[in-house]
Amino acid sequence: MEVIVAKTAGFCFGVRRAVDTVYEQIATAQKPVYTFGPIIHNEQVVADLEKKGVKVIETEEDLKGLTDAIVIIRSHGVGPHICRLLEEQGITIVDATCPFVKKIHRIVEEQKKDRRVIIVGNAEHPEVAGIRGWGDERTLVVETAEEIDNLPLSPGEKLCVVAQTTFNYNKFQDLVEKFEKKGYDILVLNTICNATQERQVEARRIASEVDAMIVIGGRHSSNTRKLYEICQKECKNTYFIQSLGDFNPECVNSVRSVGITAGASTPNQIIEEVHTNVRLKF
């Protein structure tokens, strides 16, 4: 049986940078280390960090209770009010925000002066929440074409459209086209990460060529969920797993070829374990 592993599978630059930052702090910090939210959407990595003493802070209220600590901002980034809150409490901030996300923060902060900012993405995702924090009361988030029809926009309004870095590129193009058809004065800035686009393109190609596709990643990972959706359209036998423990060999029992890809928060070790297991079983 042929097994094809995507070359783009696994940690992206921003995730690797964030994870490395936490381990560096573990080695050198003289005070308690926290992350605001899980550093990445991978349960195994978060569990390993917890064993080493890193605690996860989930809410702003919990942040207010900290004293004399280090708080690491994860790759998703945060709004400026979070940084102000920590600075007022004298907390040491270690910013591991992905540079590509930081770029969107700067764009939104600048464009909100002259245009209403529209963020294409999942409003519940921490990256989008952070981006929105750099906007103003007019800033809106959309994820579907139906939502565009219900936006409180005026005819001819000046808009700036940006995207969550892990958003599906084809869906982004479809939504932009809908905005353009409505006749708005629109500035479109494609802020989808190049690594995300490359990962999605490769996953689609592999899925179209194999009999079964395995997508590895955390259950809360937005970019992994999108990979799964893309692959499922190309290959009906697509399976979403978090680790080798979720893998059922029977799902690829009678196929001639299997493809494997993984989200940006999936360690190479997990990808290798799945790859090795598939090869050994067949």
98's tokens: 């992905």
DSSP state at residue 253:
T
- What gap in Å lies between CA 178 and CA 164, rounded to an integer? 18
Beta-bridge partners for 118: 140, 161
169's tokens: 């590129």
Which residues have a Cβ under 8 Å from the Cβ of 100 and sit 6 or more positions away?
14, 165, 191, 193
Name the active-site residue from 24, 61, 127, 137. 127
Secondary structure element (H or E) that encloses residue 4, with its range: strand 2-5
Residue 122, CA distances (Å) to 90, 141, 153, 222, 225 in order? 32, 7, 20, 9, 12
- What gap in Å lies between CA 235 and CA 222, rounded to an integer? 20
User: If you write DSSP's letter for every residue of 260-271 in order, what string do you get?
Assistant: EEE-TT--HHHH
Which residues have a Cβ under 8 Å from the Cβ of 154 and sit 6 or more positions away?
none
- What gap in Å lies between CA 92 and CA 138, rounded to an integer? 32
Tokens 């007019």 correspond to 138
- What gap in Å lies between CA 266 and CA 221, rounded to an integer? 10
Backbone angles phi, psi at 156, to 5 degrees: 75, 5
Which residues have a Cβ under 8 Å from the Cβ of 281 and sit 6 or more positions away?
249
> Catalytic annotation on 127?
yes
Q: Which residues are catalytic?
A: 127
